[in-house]
Amino acid sequence: MKFTSIKLYDKVVKQVLSEGLPEDAIPRIPLMEGNRRPEAVPADLFFELHEIAHNMLPSGCALRVGSEMELDDYGVLGLSWKTCSKGRDLFDRSVRYFNLLTNTYVFEVVDADDISKIYLHREPYRMGVARSNEATFSATVTVLQSITGKSFYPVEVSFQHAPSDNPKLYEDTFKCPVKFNQSKNYIAYLTRDLNTRTAKADESINKFLQERMDEEAGGIEISAYKLLGDIRNLLINALPGGIPSIESISEQLGLSKRSLNRRLSESGHNFRNLVSQTQREISENLLKNSNNSVGEIAFQTGFSEQSAFNRAFKRWTGLSPVEFRRTR
């Protein structure tokens, strides 16, 4: 059975209620033992909600759902978006997350010359899937603008399904040509727009570059303790996108790879071990102090497979993640 996040389901519920859908029209979520709400709902229930909203509310409800999405509505994935370095990281991290943790979204990012297409491989086998696909691409526009602080829009959107009865709604949402009855679902951006640094990255890079200039002007190197702290912070931000290269970290610090390696060596560290130590610290903290699933923690620490995370954690602590969590 396919599932989707309870957070996304709740966001749709909130939107449709605000637009006047009667509460008794909303499908009931199957509760878990002890009447607890689940972390995920059956995908067909999610699609059914989209269909009810489409049939009972004014046109474009799915587009409005996407436009009202906020980073916090996506849980761990949304948290990871807040630390993206570039706009395109939004999609790279989404691909990793959905491949690792869900079975209802299959994304693929394809760069071709100056245009990048983000494909959503999800056939609209029922009307609710078509509406959900619209919400997904509408949310993409909103979230990308949120993390970059820039108001750029896609250059083209393609849907496999037929349009609704008001095509202008799509033009107003995407500000670009929108095609229907196509062979693929995709949203296309100028590659240079996707390579835009995020607001957080600009702030961090400017801070580190200022520190390098201060070092040169004063002739004194920043302490090894502070440098290690800066590297750990950058690693924490980068790991949801996979293990970063030493080149990418040194670039953000305003150092050459050679200088970074030298300074790590002088303090008795190396980059590979620092990555591993950071992964362990993050995973132990999250297992003790959060309710994130083991799969979500694997994502946050840079692993592409939960089994690989389980093996690494057992190597670090002698316990499986589940066993470790029981000791908290």
Q: Is pLDDT at 49 greater than 70 in this prediction?
A: yes
Average pLDDT value for residue range 67-81: 91
**pLDDT for res 1:** 59
* Domains of the chain by start residue, with CATH: 58-194 (no CATH), 199-269 (no CATH), 274-326 (1.10.10.60)
Average pLDDT, the chain: 90
Cα-based torsion angle of the residue sequence 277, 292, 84, 243 in order, rounded to the nearest 10 degrees:
30
Asked whether the beta carbons of 93 and 167 are under 8 A apart, the reply is no
Q: What pLDDT is recorded for position 186?
A: 97
Burial of 53 from C-beta contacts in 10 A (0-12 / 13-18 / 19+)? buried
254 vs 12, which has greater pLDDT?
12
pTM: 0.85
Helix, strand, coil content of the chain in percent (nearest 5):
60, 10, 30
Pick the most confident of 83-92, 190-199, 275-284, 289-298: 275-284
- Pairwise pLDDT comparison (224 vs 316), residue with the higher score: 316
Taking only the tens place, the pLDDT of each residue in 250-286 is: 988 888 999 999 989 988 999 999 999 999 999 999 9
Given a cut of 90, is residue 314 above it in pLDDT? yes
What pLDDT is attached to residue 219?
64
Q: Taking residues 285-300, report their average pLDDT.
A: 93
Backbone angles phi, psi at 151, to 5 degrees: -105, 45
pLDDT tens readout for residues 110-130 = 998 899 999 999 999 999 999
Q: Report d(CA 249, CA 247) in Å as an integer.
A: 6
Rounded average pLDDT over 301-311: 94
Chain segment 206-251, per-residue pLDDT in tens: 777 777 777 767 666 667 788 899 999 999 999 999 999 999 999 8
Rounded to whole angstroms, how far apart are CA atoms 172 and 71? 22
Give pLDDT, residue 104.
64
pLDDT of residue 176: 97
Q: What is the DSSP letter of 197?
A: B
Region 175-181: mean pLDDT is 96
In degrees, rounded to 5, the angle at the alpha carbon of residue 287 between the alpha carbons of residues 70 and 295 is 60
